[in-house]
């Protein structure tokens, strides 16, 4: 990159280059870095507000610490674009979140500076603690830093790690990136002074000397300790983290390099667990993102000079919109309905529900385990909880799903958004495993709507049951079918013949029904819209099996243990031996890229399905006997 807009940044190809700069040049570099982040994201789409908020913190960390020898672990990782740019990936930012391009999250295979792969929240302190203790075991002198946001700190895992780290006797720095002002008092000169004072050698030495002297007189020692905590607690929220065994420092302005750099340099000289509280602003430096950080959290392409434009009304509803409308409609009918989300109100389409039914809406924060058990408690008292949660996030509450919901057979509806491939967010967010991990649990049923209208209808079916039911649906728009406004439910556990052919029958689960229909028309195959991965419509399955010489299952989920496996098990249990081709997501992690392209690469578009069927069943297609008439 040779660009007069970025005279300093264009020469930074490694943090070692950054550390050669004069301190007085860093504010200019930060301004260039912020401008480059904005320019890059506006061309590719991606996370914006969070990245604009961590520019100065990123510069300070790489300036003060000897990365990658010193380890920096970013929680979630959607704030790491400045980090990527400073660590040799500046020229690849044009490929961000595209197939074969840069990941939107830290990824160990991508760079030695990405010390830990992330994308789900609240893992940083645990991982950093493991790294810090590994350094201690190996007698390596290095610093380990975990950067965690105030939202991620709401998860139980973060507190479990803090509890362990406080007594682990290793050099670990936890930086709380507080960008919601939910913890901090106003930041100013006094707080900067206190942060520098509490991170300095004199304060640490005096504190330790005082402990040594006073430990001989326990009552005086406890009194001094309480006075210290109370004094610090008057101006900073130190007490909680000090109780975990950390030395609390802050809060400081996370956009003020004159505060960040001296504080980090002081902390670098300290031993034991340190906790630095920095306050940042999402969208910092871009007024439109500052004013609406939620809208600019993960925008698509846009013109920075104009900002986000109100999109024209799409011709097709997204599945998330369908769920949001259904949720409001069903809540208006049934006062028992309560809705729960683990910090995904906007992503799960629940904004309107919160406005209309605020007393029945619960955002529990990034706490998936709590969300599921909380729903179980509500269900125990006769309410009808609907847990809106991404497929990949429900994985984090698997124990609660089994022990607290399924064993007690409680009527909780799980609205599983982002089932299947999700595109730009990649493997960490792909809902590839919900059918295998759900169908093996007794009492739980799994519905797979093929389009928007079926999604609405199957949500109504799930809500009517007296046991737990998951309704899985993908990210993005459906097939564009005509929508019903009623809350009519479909029959529980029943499949449907969608196209009558001969020789070979395709059993389609979910939205892959439509490419299956396209492939079937070319080869005159029967297509069954299975609708349910559990329970299977075994009666219809056996009818179809008896009328065809070969069967094909198609699903946008892991083929190992998935719906195709369920079909094979059902046929075996019935003593039916039939050639069975199972198509789904292969046994591999699928990286980021355009969803349609990724499906095609997995052979799950119409052309891929057709090719796979021809390869496996060509003789049956050529000489297939006429199918028996089957009535759905």
Question: Hey, which residues are catalytic here?
Answer: 282, 368, 396
Q: Which helix (H) or strand (E) holds 198?
A: helix 189-199
Joined tokens for residue 488:
């009519």
The three-state secondary structure class of 303 is strand
Q: Which helix (H) or strand (E) holds 469?
A: strand 469-472
Closest of 271, 277, 269 to residue 192, by C-alpha: 277
The three-state secondary structure class of 552 is strand
Q: d(Cα 361, Cα 353) in Å, to the nearest integer?
A: 7
Q: d(Cα 147, Cα 177) in Å, to the nearest integer?
A: 7
Classify residue 598 as exposed, middle or buried by CB count within 10 Å of its CB (0-12, 13-18, 19+). buried
Tell me the Cα Rg of the chain.
28
Classify residue 312 as exposed, middle or buried by CB count within 10 Å of its CB (0-12, 13-18, 19+). exposed
504-509 sheet: strands from edge to edge:
496-499, 526-529, 504-509, 550-558, 580-585
Closest of 113, 171, 153 to residue 278, by C-alpha: 153
Other CB atoms closer than 10 Å to residue 45's CB: what's the count?
A: 17
Q: How far is CA 205 from the centre of its chain?
A: 42
Write the CA distances from 589 to 77, 435, 437, 525, 598, integer angstroms.
18, 16, 16, 31, 11
| Residues forming beta bridges with residue 548, ordered by sequence position | none
Given the structure tokens 């803090």, which residue do they identify?
Answer: 162
Q: What number of helices (H) and strands (E) belong to the chain?
A: 25, 17
Joined tokens for residue 502:
């001969």
Given the structure tokens 């509490």, which residue do they identify?
Answer: 198
The sign one gets for the Cα dihedral 478, 481, 486, 491 is negative
Q: Which helix (H) or strand (E) holds 597?
A: helix 595-601
Judge contact between 224 and 210, C-beta under 8 A: yes
């Amino acid at each position: 990159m040779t660009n007069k807009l970025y005279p300093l940044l264009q020469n930074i190809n490694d943090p070692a280059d950054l550390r050669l700069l004069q301190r007085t040049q860093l504010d200019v570099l930060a301004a260039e870095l912020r401008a480059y982040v904005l320019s890059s994201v506006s061309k590719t789409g991606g996370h914006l507000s969070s990245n604009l908020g961590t520019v100065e913190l990123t510069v300070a960390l790489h300036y003060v610490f000897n990365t990658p020898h010193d380890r920096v672990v970013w929680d979630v990782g959607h704030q790491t674009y400045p980090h990527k740019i400073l660590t040799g990936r500046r020229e690849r930012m044009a490929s961000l979140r595209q197939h074969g391009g840069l990941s939107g999250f830290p990824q160990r295979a991508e760079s030695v500076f990405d010390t830990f792969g992330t994308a789900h929240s609240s893992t940083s302190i645990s991982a950093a603690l493991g790294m810090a203790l590994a350094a201690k075991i190996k007698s390596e002198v290095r610093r380990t830093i975990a950067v965690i946001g105030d939202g991620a700190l709401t998860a139980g895992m973060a507190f479990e790690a803090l509890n362990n780290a406080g007594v682990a006797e290793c050099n670990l720095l936890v930086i709380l990136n507080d960008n919601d002002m939910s913890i901090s008092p106003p930041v100013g000169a006094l707080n900067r002074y206190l942060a520098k004072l509490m991170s300095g050698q004199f304060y640490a030495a005096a504190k330790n000397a005082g402990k040594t002297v006073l430990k001989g007189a326990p009552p005086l020692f406890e009194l001094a300790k309480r006075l210290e905590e109370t004094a610090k607690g008057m101006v900073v929220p130190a007490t909680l983290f000090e109780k975990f065994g950390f030395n609390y420092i802050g809060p400081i302005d996370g956009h003020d390099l004159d505060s960040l750099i001296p504080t980090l340099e002081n902390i670098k000289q300290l031993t034991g667990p340190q906790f630095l509280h920095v306050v940042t602003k999402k969208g910092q430096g871009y007024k439109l993102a500052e004013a609406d950080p939620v809208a600019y959290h993960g925008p698509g392409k846009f013109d920075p000079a104009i900002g986000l434009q109100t999109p024209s009304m799409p011709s097709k509803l997204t599945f998330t919109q369908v769920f949001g409308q259904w949720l409001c409609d069903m809540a208006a009918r049934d006062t028992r309905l309560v809705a729960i989300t683990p910090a995904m109100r906007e992503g799960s389409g629940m904004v309107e529900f919160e406005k209309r039914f605020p007393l029945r809406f619960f955002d529990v924060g990034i706490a998936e385990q709590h969300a599921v058990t909380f729903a179980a408690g509500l269900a125990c008292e006769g309410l009808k909880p609907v847990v809106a949660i991404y497929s990949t996030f429900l994985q984090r509450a698997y124990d609660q799903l089994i022990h607290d919901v399924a064993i007690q057979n409680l009527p909780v509806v799980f609205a599983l958004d982002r089932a299947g491939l999700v595109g730009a967010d990649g493997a960490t967010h792909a809902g590839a495993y919900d059918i295998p991990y759900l169908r093996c649990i007794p009492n739980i049923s799994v519905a797979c709507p093929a389009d928007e209208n079926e999604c609405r209808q199957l949500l109504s079916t799930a809500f009517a049951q007296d046991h737990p039911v998951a309704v899985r649906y993908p990210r993005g728009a459906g097939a564009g079918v005509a929508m019903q406004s009623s809350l009519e439910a479909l029959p529980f556990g029943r499949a449907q013949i969608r196209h009558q052919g001969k020789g070979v029958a395709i059993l389609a689960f979910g939205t892959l029904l439509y490419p299956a229909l396209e492939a079937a028309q070319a080869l005159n195959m029967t297509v069954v819209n299975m609708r349910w991965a559990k329970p299977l419509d075994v009666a219809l399955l056996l009818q179809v099996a008896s009328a065809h010489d070969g069967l094909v299952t198609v699903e946008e989920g892991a083929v190992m243990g998935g719906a195709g496996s369920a079909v094979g098990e059902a046929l075996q249990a019935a003593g039916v031996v039939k050639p069975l081709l199972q198509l789904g997501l292969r046994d591999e992690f699928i990286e980021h890229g355009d969803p349609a392209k990724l499906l095609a690469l997995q052979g799950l578009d119409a052309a891929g399905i057709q090719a796979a069927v021809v390869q496996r069943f060509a003789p049956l297609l050529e000489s297939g006997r006429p199918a028996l008439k089957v009535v759905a």
